[in-house]
Structure 1
Amino acid sequence: MTLRALLGLLMALLLPASGGHACSKETPCMVGERAYYYAAPEAPVGAVVYIHGWGSSGAGALRNSGMLNAFMDRGYAVVAPDGVPREGRNGRSWRFHPSADQGADVAFLQAVRDDVVQRMSVDPSKVLLVGFSIGGSMTAYTACLAPESFAAFAPLGGNFWRPHPTGCAGPVRMLHTHGWSDGTVPLEGRAVNRLPINDPEARAQGDIFHAMDIWRQTNGCVFGKADRFVTHGRFWRRIWDRCSEGSALELALHPGGHSVPRGWASMVLDWFEAL
């Protein structure tokens, strides 16, 4: 075998099964002109697609070693897509707002899912979409617009913005987590351009309790009141059971602020694996 042939064989063995270039936590996987990063255990049982917050990036999200290890120790790959560049500023964002081109970012996340399923040979029914802050908002809008895109959705510290959606495409499996003392994205929402929250010109975060009502209607839940409550441990949880078959809906509150709380990743996987 010639040296060139040997090198070609080695490259073929090293490249991912999808036929794309090798990529990792530091080297981007390209989907069209956009990128994602990932870290994975050997033979992952599933994948968690994590959407970063405002001003961060996919590679930056994977530097949260506590969260990363919590997912990977359970056998899940952690996939972190890049949002779109912020004009004139460092870092990235997402087109999550109702006035933005949400469909473009939803399509990108679907393409990332497809690439991950092929690249890592994971079951698409074990691919979960999660996100923090506006990444949580992007998670919620993806669930609303394309509920079939991921097996389940777990936004943290962010959900819908005003004007709230008047309806979503279909039932979902969702666990929303929020900090009781979150001042960046308060449970009741706030206007980020310093206008009164009811001003038509306000660019305003949504009300999490209103968002949960939208999700109850989307999932066809029988009652507004939760069916079960968990009041021990770090997370207090409200659970709606009497809803459309195959759907799931929970709200988890923790005493902290706008952060990824300790134990969140494990709670999400416990919930996901019990569905």
Structure 2
Amino acid sequence: MRGLKLVCAALLFAGIGAPSAFAAQCLGVAPGTSQRVVIGDTGRSLLLHVPSGYTKRAPLVFLLHGSTGTGAQMLAESKLAETADRHGFLVAAPDAGIAEGKGFVWNIPGVPTVTGKVPGPNDPDDVAFLTEAAQWLGTLGCADASRVYVTGLSGGGRMTSWLGCVAADRFAAIAPVVGLRAGNPSPVDPRFPDPKTCQPSRPMPVIAFAGGRDTTNPVEGGGAPYWQYPMRTAEARWADLNGCRRPRPTVSAGGIEEHGYTECRSGAEVVARIDSQAGHSWVADNEAMWAFFARRRR
């Protein structure tokens, strides 16, 4: 039944039996607006922003909220909808699967949430939901399936990193914000990632943003059990995974330090931008993020 629904939806949005103007809106969401839409038969929904001037399938950016937050809060805080209107990409802002407080937390298998609880087998599978949402929006003709990206704040940044590890076949690049990881902390030595927990199927381009004064997910490591190893260690691990051959020279300007790795397989560079004066917040430069995404396809 699910397969039949997808086929029918694809025919509908290809213009068979429906006005082309409806297809151009993408799920009936008018260009320049945001609306909650149900994803297939998953029983879950997300807030979808369709950019101004939308007329055909477009790149898609998943925006993942921080722990105990919501997709609506994240869309407002990040200002990513405004960036999408300037550059013509869709934004999908879902809620995580595990309810907590007034919001939700993401299910990263084997890693405790901010409550200290490790998600169990009966908790919603966020990887399955997000990958199905990406596929569904592509099948409908709303999104360009080769240009699907993911970013997120804090717990959403860690979920973004996890998707890079386990769903590289679905996403073209990732941009964690105050949340770059490269697998779970090692049970033997948490100052390093456990290599068994991050084995992407292809090189994954990474641009990560952080605050030098972040005491929640410190760039130097430590903190909560889900964090532990330094951001530089995560960068180096992604460089290894991507087969990068050369570190990028560190460049500092206006309190922003940028470094990373280049000459990587399939152009999968690793870039880190740290705002020395910022803390645990949306420190991303949306324009720099989109410029990085726009050069990548799956």
TM-score in terms of structure 2 length: 0.74
Q: Does 1:90 align with 2:102?
A: yes
RMSD (Å), alpha carbons: 2.9
The equivalent of 1:37 in structure 2 is: 47
Q: Does 1:208 align with 2:208?
A: no
Residue type of the alignment partner of 1:257: G
The equivalent of 1:172 in structure 2 is: 204
In the alignment, the residues of structure 1 paired with residue 212 and residue 268 of structure 2 have an alpha-carbon distance, to the nearest angstrom, of 25
Q: Does 1:222 align with 2:262?
A: no
Counterparts in 2 of 1:181 and 1:25: CA distance versus 1, 3 Å: same
Matched residue of 1:159: which SS?
coil
CA contact (8 A) 2:47 2:93 kept: yes
Number of aligned positions between the proteins: 251
Measured against aligned partners, the alpha-carbon deviations of 1:225-264 in whole angstroms (never above 9, x if no partner) come to x233332356321131122233221111112111113x61
In the alignment, the residues of structure 1 paired with residue 138 and residue 37 of structure 2 have an alpha-carbon distance, to the nearest angstrom, of 16
Q: Does 1:25 align with 2:56?
A: no
Report deviation, 1:187: 0.8
Matched residue of 1:92: which SS?
strand
Counterparts in 2 of 1:215 and 1:16: CA distance versus 1, 3 Å: farther
Residue type of the alignment partner of 2:79: G
Report deviation, 1:210: 1.6
Runs of 4+ with >6 A deviation: none
Structure 1, unmatched stretches of 5+, are 1-10, 193-201
Residue type of the alignment partner of 1:214: R
The equivalent of 2:67 in structure 1 is: 54
Counterparts in 2 of 1:15 and 1:260: CA distance versus 1, 3 Å: same
Report deviation, 1:12: 5.9
CA contact (8 A) 2:74 2:93 kept: yes
Task: For 1:45-194, list aligned pairs within 5 A.
Answer: 45-64=58-77, 66-87=79-100, 89-99=101-111, 100=119, 104-160=125-181, 161-163=184-186, 164-166=193-195, 167-169=198-200, 170-192=202-224
Identity of aligned residues (%): 25
Structure 2, unmatched stretches of 5+, are 1-16, 112-118, 187-192
The equivalent of 1:250 in structure 2 is: 271
CA contact (8 A) 1:15 1:21 kept: no
TM-score in terms of structure 1 length: 0.79
Residue type of the alignment partner of 1:122: A
> Which shows bigger deviation, 45-54 or 117-126?
117-126
